[in-house]
Amino acid sequence: MPQASTKITARQVNGGIGILDIQGDISGFAENVLMDAYTQAATPATHTIILNFTGLEYMNSSGIGLLVTLLIRANRQKQRVLAYGLSEHYRHIFELTRLDGAISIYESEANALAAATAH
Amino acid sequence: MSAVGTSALASAAHWLLVCILCTLAYWVIGRLFFRCGRGSRVLFVLAAFCVAVAGAMVYAESHTFALQHPLLALPIQVVFLLIFYIFPDRRFTPTWARWLAILYVFSQLGTLSSGKQPQPPPQQISAILSSVPGLLGTLMVLGDMLAVTVIAVGILPQVYGRYRNLVAHSETSREPNRSGMLIGVCVSGCLLLLIVSALFTASTERSSSTVYLLARTTFYLLATLAPVAVAFALLHVPRLDRPALGRRTMVSSLFILSLLLIFAVCVAVLGLVVPGFAGFSALGYLPFVILIAVLLGALFRPLRAQIQDRVDQYVYPDRYRARHYIEAFHSSVRDGSGLDELGNQLITTIQKAFAVDALVLWLPTIPSHAQTPDIALRRLPGSGGRLDASITSIEIGAGDPLRPWLSAASRFLTVGRLPLDSAATRTLASADVAHLLTFVSQGVLTGTLGMGTRAPARPYTADDAELLMTLADELAPMLQTAAVAHRSELEARQRERVEQELQTARRIQESLLPKEVPALDGWRIATRYQPAREVGGDFYDFLALADGKLGVVLGDVTDKGIPAALVMATTRSMLRAVAMQPQVTPGQALAQVNDLLCPDLPSSMFVTCFYAIVDPATGRVIFANAGQDTPYLRRPDGSVGTLYATGMPMGLLPESRYEEGEATVAPGDELLFFSDGLVEAHKAAREMFGLPRLQRLLGSQDDATPPITMLLHELAEFTGPDWEQEDDITLVSVQRMSQPDDTGRSEEPAVQPDASEVSDGGYGTAWRTLDAWSVASVPGNEQQVIARVAQVVGSLGIAPARLEQLKTAVGEAAMNAMEHGNHFDPERLISIEVVTSQAQIAVRITDEGGPGAITAPVAPDLDAKLAGLQSPRGWGLFLIEHLVDEVHVSDDATHRTVELVMAIDDPTSSVPRS
């Protein structure tokens, strides 16, 4: 059985910002990896979670479900979720699902960080 | 004076006697408790309560006694310390409680050494308060009471930890009974308060003898329970083990002696440095005592460890070596080591630690849970030593009396002393296995170490056993993890090997099938090759012969997998080489190939084959047959004949001759070549599809549906949804058109890669199949589907963005089919067909779910999902509908097909495709 190859590293920037660097697939298989990375990234001081989709290879509806779950968790912690590095196709999918309303999309990490710190 | 002395001696003797009797009584009680009540929560809570309360009371009484008889109290204090520490049980005496105990004892000693002896005290605590003059007495008593309470309370968490451990190893539920513990703690606390207040009351109202009597009785009742802690400690040693007791006594004596020495030196130094220390006021003296006690407390652990180490090193070198080897093993072993690696490390360590070479490690062959009645153990390869030649596996049945001994907790068992008679123990004893060390994690036996006797007949002491059991407790979960990893690795490797072999065979086979069907004016040729799960040996071939004739070959190799694929490849090459020679007739070709195959083919293998040469201009067909089902020739009037010829399958008998036949295919006629996978398909009731059915279906076929589509549909109807295709199905249809213009094909510029069938598909426009295959319903396989669709569609010039959309939609549809249609049953396949017309591309994904709506109950709404009103999932269909141009769903009794249609040109784009 093919296993999803998903690697997500969490890093902290400027204290209150957690960045999840996603490498590989966001599908149903990525659940544990994503949630673990989120737990790692989210400290009590975290106010913003930034998803780095530069390394995203494949995302399906289960993956979108995971993002919604992550969004719910982040909302509960009063954290904002931002994203950057999305390909045109997945931007389109974010628009279709209206996820782009809940997860603001930026061109680059610098833009996302600027938006996160400006807030 | 002598009267006082006699009374003091009598009092001390009385006290010591009580202590000794209680110790004995509790040893018996504890023994019973452990034997009968292992895991009984009620008994455990009761015992915990007794330990806590009684421990406190003994302290209180000892204090009273110390004040009465300071000089006699000294040895008793020492005895008390010994009792507390000779059999240290860390579960009951936390480090900080020991510090407090030391503080207490040394404050008593301090009182003595300061020369300020208290007044002859009365019997009770409150009376002490009133009789000891000044602040010192008050502070001392209050401090002592505080220490008593703190120690009592400090013991409880330890008892609780022990309790958890006990429950975890004995009960199915691993959650401790917190409420039971809480009740125990509350009751003991209340009783403690009650007794203390009763003692106070009794002392102030001496005349009220009933209350006093009650308080004294309760006190003695509880004080009698005091040595339960000692009993627990004693029970730690499974039997009266003189070497172990001797060693502990030696360590503890040296330890206490060292403490006393340090204390004495401190006092002496203080006496020299601080002038008039001995004559200090009570308040000035206290900080020094506390300081010294804290110093001793800090020294407590390292000092004890040092003394133990030295004693072991010089007096018990065996144990010293064993402990060091095992400690080194603990620190080096990692969770995640391989099973064999872990096992070998363990054996090496124990060999070195206990100087024993006869060791054998058995590991469970199947995961044996506490519920599984039988235990089957296999020997770790390479382990054994002197025991090597004996037993390689042990079976311990459900009824074997040894069975319960192997799942409760990690144990060190002496085979000869087990109070049972079992087949397994007899086997073990006959193989010189003297001891068993069991590794049990959460009630599951994860390994058993068989140990022979040590070379000089030196028994394992209780300390050795304890060391081994500690090791077993720590290692058991690791062995379990490693075993699980080991098993899944083996399974994965096996699966991978089989899968690889299948894939290789399939690749060989598919690479040899024609990439395209020949285009002949006035003829329509279609093929369908549907491999079985396990690759069979079907093949077909088209040979472009001289003078424009077409050779059609359809064959089948017996056997499956790689051997079949290799024979097929050989046969195909031989046939090509032979048939291409000028003027070779079909019969001659088969005969030559037969002669070539015979010497090389194993006797169990042969090849059936039908070879026909079609002259497209005249419709004349010459054919020969090597044991293959004869093709059908269907006339437009519905009559069905066969191209009949006989001959032995190739590879069986050298110099076989093959009869040739001849027929004419008139305009409107159609030839159908087929492999036995079609006619021998049978349903559950063993009814075969059969030749008569095939013939009847061909006869009643309407002209609108291509025969291959019709036959496959009929086959699906016949076999039902749960059919697993056992053999390849190959169909080749060669149809001579009634009018040369209606081929629908002669106009097409070129044949698309992998195009294998032309059908109208029932969708009005002419759809051409680009690719068709099936995959197992395993999560993750949708990515394979996506990749293959992308590869097939890639050459059609669809815009990249739209291709991405199609890919995502295909992935979702494939997931839906696998999940909702086939319920992720790996045995059930989803089939994918990629077809194209001039303007559109369609991907048809069929599952075995049968009829039913695929629409989601509610449209997904992000806000509702974020508010928790909808599940976060459920986006699949939404995406499909929004990403492709059209979605069609069709179903029959056993299948459901979702067709995703997308225009090759972007309809929203104004730029036409070049």
Q: What is the pLDDT of residues B277-314, one digit of tens each?
A: 544 444 455 566 556 656 666 676 788 788 888 888 88
B812 and A2 within 8 Å at the Cβ level: the answer is no
**Residue linked to tokens 């296993």:** A3
Residue A49: φ, ψ to 5°: -115, 130
Residue B366 has pLDDT above 60, yes or no: no
Of the segments B231-245, B300-314, B613-627, B824-838, which one has the largest average pLDDT value?
B613-627
**Residue linked to tokens 């401090």:** B143
Neighbours of A105 (CB within 10 A): 19
Residue B692 has pLDDT above 50, yes or no: yes
Residue A16 has pLDDT above 80, yes or no: yes
Give the whole-angstrom CA distance, residue A30 versus residue A89. 20
Give the whole-angstrom CA distance, residue B721 versus residue B894. 5
Of the segments A47-56, A108-117, B232-241, B675-684, which one has the largest average pLDDT value?
A47-56
Residue B608 has pLDDT above 80, yes or no: yes
A65 and B874 within 8 Å at the Cβ level: the answer is yes
Nearest partner of B677 among B627, B726, B619, judged by Cα:
B726
Q: B90 vs B337, which has greater pLDDT? A: B337
Amino acid in position B33: F
Residue B750 has pLDDT above 50, yes or no: no
Q: Which residues of B fall within a CB distance of 8 Å from A28? A: 779
Q: What is the pLDDT of residues B774-824, one digit of tens each?
A: 888 888 888 889 988 988 887 788 888 888 999 999 999 999 888 888 888
Q: What is the pLDDT of residues B190-228, one digit of tens each?
A: 555 655 555 555 455 444 455 555 555 555 444 434 334
Average pLDDT, integer, range B248-271: 71
- Chain A CA closest to residue B876: A61
- Chain A CA closest to residue B877: A61
Residue B136 has pLDDT above 50, yes or no: no
Q: Tell me if B212 sits within 8 A of B225, measured CB to CB.
A: no
**pLDDT at residue B550, rounded to an integer:** 92
pLDDT classification of A53: cutoffs 50, 70, 90:
very high
Interface membership of A65 toward B (CB under 8 Å): yes
Percent of chain B with pLDDT over 90: 7
Compute the count of residue pairs across chains A and B with CB atoms less than 8 Å apart.
80
Give the neighbor-by-neighbor strand order of the sheet with B607-614.
B538-544, B550-557, B607-614, B620-626, B660-664
Q: How far is CA B119 from each of CA B5, B67, B901, rounded to the nearest angstrom?
A: 15, 8, 105
| Contacts of B541-549 spanning 24+ positions with Cβ under 8 A | B541/B513, B541/B514, B541/B572, B541/B575, B541/B576, B542/B514, B542/B517, B542/B518, B543/B576, B543/B579, B543/B580, B544/B518, B545/B579, B545/B580, B545/B613, B546/B582, B548/B615, B548/B616, B548/B617, B549/B613, B549/B614, B549/B615, B549/B616
Q: Which ipTM did the prediction report? A: 0.90
**pLDDT at residue B324, rounded to an integer:** 84
Q: How far is CA B237 from each of CA B308, B410, B441, rounded to the nearest angstrom?
A: 18, 15, 22
Q: Indicate left, alpha or beta for B488 from its phi (over 0: left) and psi (-120 to 50: alpha).
A: alpha
Which tokens go with B18? 């009580």
Q: B839 vs A55, which has greater pLDDT? A: A55
User: Residue B53: in which H helix or E strand, if any?
Assistant: helix B41-68
Q: B730 vs B501, which has greater pLDDT? A: B730
Nearest partner of B826 among B790, B780, B874, judged by Cα:
B780
Test mutation, B865, B870, B879, chain A, max A CBs within 10 A? B865
- Range with the poorest average pLDDT among B162-166, B176-180, B612-616, B670-674: B176-180
DSSP-derived 3-state class of residue B209: helix
Q: How far is CA B51 from each of CA A23, B154, B168, rounded to the nearest angstrom?
A: 57, 11, 21
Residue A51 has pLDDT above 90, yes or no: yes
- Range with the poorest average pLDDT among B55-69, B123-137, B668-682, B870-884: B123-137
Q: Return the exposure string of B805-827: e unless at least 16 CB atoms fall within 10 Å of the residue's CB, then b.
A: bbbbbbbbbbbbbbbbbbeeeee
Longest Cα–Cα distance in chain A: 45
Q: What is the pLDDT of residues B476-498, one digit of tens each?
A: 888 888 888 888 888 888 888 88
Q: What is the pLDDT of residues B374-413, one digit of tens each?
A: 566 666 665 655 555 556 677 777 677 777 777 767 778 8
**pLDDT at residue A14, rounded to an integer:** 78
Interface membership of A82 toward B (CB under 8 Å): no
**pLDDT at residue A87, rounded to an integer:** 92
Mean pLDDT estimate for chain B: 70
Residue B639 has pLDDT above 70, yes or no: yes
Give the whole-angstrom CA distance, residue B733 versus residue B524. 8
Question: Which residue intervals of B560-681 are DSSP H helices?
Answer: 561-579, 586-597, 676-679
Give the whole-angstrom CA distance, residue B774 versus residue B781. 10
The partner residue sitting opposite B873, judged by closest CB among A25, A65, A101, is A65
Residue B522 has pLDDT above 80, yes or no: yes
Residue B234 has pLDDT above 90, yes or no: no
Amino acid in position A86: L
- Range with the poorest average pLDDT among B149-153, B464-468, B844-848: B149-153
Interface membership of B375 toward A (CB under 8 Å): no
pTM given for the model: 0.37
Nearest partner of B814 among B900, B734, B728, B903, judged by Cα:
B900
The partner residue sitting opposite B780, judged by closest CB among A4, A65, A72, is A4
β-pairing, B359-364 vs A104-106, is unpaired
Q: How far is CA B773 from each of CA B283, B623, B789, rounded to the nearest angstrom?
A: 94, 31, 10
Of the segments B316-330, B411-425, B763-777, B856-870, which one has the largest average pLDDT value?
B316-330
Q: B188 vs B500, which has greater pLDDT? A: B500
Q: A20 vs B4, which has greater pLDDT? A: A20
Query: Å from B684 to nearest chain A CA?
Result: 29
Test mutation, B862, B869, B883, B884, chain A, max A CBs within 10 A? B862
Give the whole-angstrom CA distance, residue B897 versus residue B580. 43
Nearest partner of A64 among A99, A21, A15, A89, judged by Cα:
A99
**Residue linked to tokens 């058993």:** B448
Q: Who's near B681: CB < 8 A, 6+ residues apart?
A: B688, B689, B715, B718, B719, B723, B725, B726, B727, B729
With vertex at residue B327, the alpha carbon angle to CA B322 and CA B330, rounded to the nearest 5 degrees, is: 130
Give the whole-angstrom CA distance, residue B142 versus residue B133. 14
Q: Tell me if B116 sits within 8 A of B282, measured CB to CB.
A: yes
**pLDDT at residue B691, rounded to an integer:** 84
User: Taking a contact as any Cβ pair under 8 Å apart, which residues of chain B between 839 and 878 contact chain A?
Assistant: 860, 862, 865-866, 868, 871-876, 878
pLDDT classification of B182: cutoffs 50, 70, 90:
low
**pLDDT at residue B39, rounded to an integer:** 46
A96 and B804 within 8 Å at the Cβ level: the answer is no
Q: What is the pLDDT of residues B526-552, one digit of tens each?
A: 888 887 766 668 889 999 888 889 999
Give the whole-angstrom CA distance, residue B182 versus residue B168. 18
Residue B865 has pLDDT above 90, yes or no: no
**pLDDT at residue B78, rounded to an integer:** 57
**pLDDT at residue A20, rounded to an integer:** 92
A98 and B876 within 8 Å at the Cβ level: the answer is no
Interface membership of A92 toward B (CB under 8 Å): yes
Residue B743 has pLDDT above 80, yes or no: no
**pLDDT at residue B386, rounded to an integer:** 55
Neighbours of B672 (CB within 10 A): 22
